[in-house]
């Protein structure tokens, strides 16, 4: 009986050894099949464009196809929740971002995933400011003029927003920082909101810099300030909100790439290095800088710290504003 038990134990140890060797070989051979990159938004928007650009560049670096899968819903929450529950084997990359990995936690403290503990954040991919825009018929030429008017006429100045988007968060932070009360008009999508701004139906919004730029150049909208800490290269004459009297103000649109916690470290290391290399390509850099996006520092350490800082900031802003999920 004892001998049979010893044999069984020996066989178990041998099997574990074979499994361990098999896992090591699989990691060394990674990737040996296509990789899925899940974008938690519908096709066509900024998140989708960034995801597809990184998939294109990563495919070249890894010499294996990286395929984008769009899973939209609930501001990025549906796709993110589904992605982080897939096997942590390196064959699912998750696009993370301000909505689903920072703002969502402030809106729903019982979110099914935790952006600080359920992910390994590999690198930030892009960031871009929101632009404070007014219709040219409005008299405001500076942030100071707008704030002075809002303080003298509380509640009489309207703005448009789409729920929990980066522009919405920028406006809430601006109102809290400047100490003004303005009336928000909700929109189901950025397209209808932009159309109303262009028509003068609403006087102002915060909008992503890439969407705003052609309308500013055409003279259809006026830019008062950008929400990044430093001026944007495509908006050299537009001051930051920090320059306009609100030191430290920052409200960015951003995305990055992550994998589920539990992904083997050799695969994590390979992906992190591949992403850094992909972001150095001339194609990647030209595509981002030509539309006013900023290429951030690459790597897991800065991105992990950045996600935490953003989650903390927007949770505070949402709590102070009393914003609830739709």
Q: Confidence class of residue 37 from pLDDT cuts 50, 70 and 90?
A: very high
Residue carrying the six token digits 């809106």: 107
pLDDT band at 136 (very low <50, low <70, confident <90, very high): very high
At residue 5 the predicted structure's pLDDT band, cuts being 50, 70 and 90, is low
- Beta bridge pairs of residue 222: 134
Q: How far apart are CA 135 and CA 131, in angstroms?
A: 13
Q: Can you give the pTM of this predicted structure?
A: 0.90
pLDDT (average), residues 9-14: 60
pLDDT at site 299: 98
User: Whose CA is closest to 244, among 309, 148, 112?
Assistant: 148
> What pLDDT is recorded for position 28?
82
Do residues 37 and 54 touch, judged by C-beta distance below 8 A? yes
pLDDT tens, residue by residue, 149-196: 999 999 999 999 999 999 999 999 999 999 999 999 999 989 999 999
Look at residue 265 and tell me whether its pLDDT is greater than 70.
yes
Q: Distances in Å between the alpha carbon of 279 and those of 1, 121, 257, 265, 269?
A: 62, 16, 12, 21, 16
Q: What are phi and psi of 25, to 5 degrees?
A: -65, -40
**pLDDT tens, position by position, 78-116:** 999 999 999 999 999 999 999 999 999 999 999 999 999
Domains 32-128+252-321 and 129-226 share a fold: yes
Percentage of the chain exceeding pLDDT 70:
92
**How many whole angstroms from its chain centre is CA 167?**
12
Q: Do residues 42 and 72 touch, judged by C-beta distance below 8 A?
A: yes
2-11, 28-37, 234-243: segment of lowest average pLDDT: 2-11
> What's the token pair of residue 13?
């140890």
Helix (H) or strand (E) holding 195: helix 190-199
Indicate the CATH number for domain 129-226. Answer: 3.40.190.10
Has residue 3 got a pLDDT over 80? no
Its CATH class, for the domain covering 32-128+252-321, is alpha beta
What is the percentage of the chain residues whose pLDDT exceeds 90? 90
Question: What is the pLDDT, as a whole number, of residue 326?
Answer: 82
Instruction: Provide the pLDDT for residue 207.
Output: 97
**pLDDT tens sequence across 64-76:** 999 999 999 999 9
Q: 23 CB contacts (<8 Å, ≥6 apart)?
A: 264
Domain limits, the chain: 32-128+252-321, 129-226
Q: Would you say residue 4 has pLDDT above 70?
A: no
């Amino acid at each position: 009986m004892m001998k049979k038990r010893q044999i069984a134990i020996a066989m178990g140890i041998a099997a574990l050894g074979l499994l361990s060797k098999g896992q090591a070989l699989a990691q060394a051979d990674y990737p040996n099949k296509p990789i899925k990159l899940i974008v938690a938004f519908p096709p066509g928007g900024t998140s989708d464009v960034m995801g597809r650009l990184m998939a294109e560049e990563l495919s070249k670096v890894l010499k294996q196809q990286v395929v984008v899968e769009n899973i939209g819903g609930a501001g990025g929450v549906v796709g993110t929740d589904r992605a982080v529950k897939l096997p942590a084997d390196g064959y699912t990359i998750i696009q993370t971002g301000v909505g689903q990995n920072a703002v969502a936690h402030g809106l729903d403290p019982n979110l099914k995933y935790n952006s600080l503990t359920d992910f390994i954040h590999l690198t930030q991919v892009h960031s871009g400011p929101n632009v404070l825009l007014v219709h040219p018929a409005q008299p405001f030429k500076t942030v100071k003029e707008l704030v002075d008017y809002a303080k003298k006429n509380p509640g009489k100045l309207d703005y448009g927003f789409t729920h929990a988007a980066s522009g919405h968060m920028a406006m809430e932070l601006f109102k809290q920082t400047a100490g003004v009360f303005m009336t928000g008009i909700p929109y189901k999508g950025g397209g209808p909101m932009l159309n109303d701004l262009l028509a003068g139906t609403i006087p102002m919004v915060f909008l992503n810099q890439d969407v705003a730029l052609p309308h500013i150049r055409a003279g259809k909208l006026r830019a008062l300030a950008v929400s990044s800490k430093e001026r944007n290269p495509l908006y050299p004459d537009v001051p930051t909100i920090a320059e306009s009297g609100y030191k430290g103000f920052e409200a960015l649109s951003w995305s990055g790439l992550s994998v589920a916690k539990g992904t083997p470290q050799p695969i994590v290391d390979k992906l992190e290095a591949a992403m850094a290399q992909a972001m150095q390509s001339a194609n990647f850099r030209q595509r981002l800088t030509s539309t006013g996006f900023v290429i951030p520092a690459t790597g897991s350490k800065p991105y992990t710290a950045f996600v935490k800082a953003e989650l903390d900031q927007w949770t505070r802003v949402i709590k102070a504003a009393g914003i609830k999920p739709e």
